[in-house]
């Protein structure tokens, strides 16, 4: 019986598990949707939702700091600034990427200010070939990326790729036809030049001059 056991060990040591979950949470905040196994997703979801709650507290503290500063209350504004900074530093222990941490406090936290928990969801996908593990999608709720299902996005991306390939093929065909036309025009021009040269040579030949003199003499007679 697993009494008083708070977390899944995931077949890893403490340091490895901590680093793995931190990386998963960071990529979740960055991409807003990740694919992983069911057990890992459930552990990463706990950590992600706690961080979002902390980011919400830090965001509200920073907003209060700004309003108090504008009102001229320096002591209270410094206290709220210190509170916001404390939330930022605690979150930075897990999310080491500064750009992703800024996104968490500036974009993700304001999105869930009216939502009390349930910031993520898990969608079952399939079983993985090889070890038959259950794979799932762990995603944030209500963002611009996750409002549209992943399958529709894949279909759209595939359709765009096919359109791009068709456009490239058309461009290649038109380029080939243009090259062929240019080659035909060159050949026709060369043939015309050859015919003109042959005609000049025929007119300048002695036989042609003798025939012209004969015709002139006969006309005189």
Say if 4 falls within a structural domain: no
Tally the C-alpha atoms within 13 A of residue 115's C-alpha that lie toward its C-beta: 15
- Give me the mean pLDDT over the 137-162 stretch: 78
Q: Which residues contact 201 (CB under 8 A, 6 or more apart)?
A: none
Rounded Cα–Cα distance for residues 104 and 54 (Å): 10
From the list 43, 54, 63, the residue with the least C-alpha distance to 90 is 54
* Residues 76 and 174 grouped into a single domain: no
Q: Which residue has the higher pLDDT, 150 or 169?
A: 169
144 against 54, higher pLDDT: 54
Q: Do 105 and 207 share a structural domain?
A: no
d(CA 197, CA 191): 10
The two tokens of residue 84 are: 């916001």
Q: Compute the mean pLDDT over every residue in the chain, rounded to the nearest whole number.
A: 86
User: Are residues 31 and 116 located together in one domain of the fold?
Assistant: yes
User: Could you tell me if 129 and 24 lie in one domain?
Assistant: yes
pLDDT, average across residues 97-117: 94
127 and 21 share a domain?
Answer: yes
Determine contact, residues 42/124, Cβ cutoff 8 Å.
Answer: no
Residue-wise pLDDT tens digits, 189-221: 888 887 777 776 666 555 555 666 666 566 655
Residues 123, 25, single domain; the answer is: yes
The model's pLDDT over 39-86, given as tens digits with 9 standing for 90+, comes to: 999 999 999 999 999 999 999 999 999 999 999 899 999 999 999 999
Q: Which two tokens stand for residue 29?
A: 């905040």
The residue ranking higher by pLDDT, 117 or 218, is 117
Lowest mean pLDDT across 3-7, 29-33, 86-90, 103-107: 3-7
- Tell me whether residue 40 is exposed, middle or buried, using C-beta atoms within 10 angstroms of its C-beta: 0 to 12, 13 to 18, 19 or more: buried
Q: Are residues 137 and 175 in the same domain?
A: no
Clarify whether residues 138 and 198 are in a common domain: no
Residues in the chain: 221
* The pLDDT of residue 214: 62
Residue 38, pLDDT score: 95
**108 located within any domain:** yes
Domain span at residue 102 reads 14-146
Burial bucket for residue 35 (CB in 10 Å: 0-12, 13-18, 19+): middle
Count of domains observed in the chain: 2
Decide if 9 is inside a domain: no
132, 190: one domain: no
Q: What is the pLDDT of residue 158?
A: 77
Do 115 and 216 belong together in one domain? Answer: no
pLDDT of residue 220: 58
| Tens digits of residue pLDDT in 9-32 | 999 999 999 999 999 999 999 999
In a domain, 2, yes or no: no
* 112: in domain: yes
> Residue 142: what are its φ and ψ, rounded to 5°?
80, 15
Quote the pTM value: 0.65
Nearest to 59 by CA among 106, 115, 118: 106
Residue 85 to residue 88: CA distance in whole angstroms: 5
């Amino acid at each position: 019986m697993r009494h008083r056991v708070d977390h899944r060990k995931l077949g890893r040591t403490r340091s490895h598990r901590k680093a793995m979950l931190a990386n998963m949470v960071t990529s979740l905040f960055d991409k807003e949707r990740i694919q992983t196994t069911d057990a890992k997703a459930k552990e990463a979801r706990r950590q992600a939702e706690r961080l979002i709650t902390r980011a919400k507290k830090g965001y509200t503290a920073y907003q209060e700091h700004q309003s108090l500063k504008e009102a001229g209350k320096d002591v209270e504004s410094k206290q709220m600034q210190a509170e916001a900074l404390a939330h930022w530093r605690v979150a930075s222990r897990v999310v080491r990427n500064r750009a992703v941490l800024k996104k968490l406090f500036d974009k993700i936290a304001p999105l869930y200010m009216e939502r009390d928990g349930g910031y993520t969801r898990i969608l079952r996908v399939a079983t993985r070939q090889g070890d038959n593990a259950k794979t799932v999608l762990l995603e944030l709720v209500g963002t611009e990326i996750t409002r549209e299902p992943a399958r529709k996005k894949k279909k759209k991306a595939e359709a765009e790729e096919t359109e791009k390939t068709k456009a490239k093929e058309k461009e290649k065909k038109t380029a080939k036809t243009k090259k062929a036309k240019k080659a035909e025009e060159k050949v026709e021009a060369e043939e015309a030049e050859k015919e003109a040269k042959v005609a000049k040579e025929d007119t300048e030949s002695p036989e042609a001059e003798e025939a012209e003199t004969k015709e002139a003499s006969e006309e005189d007679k």
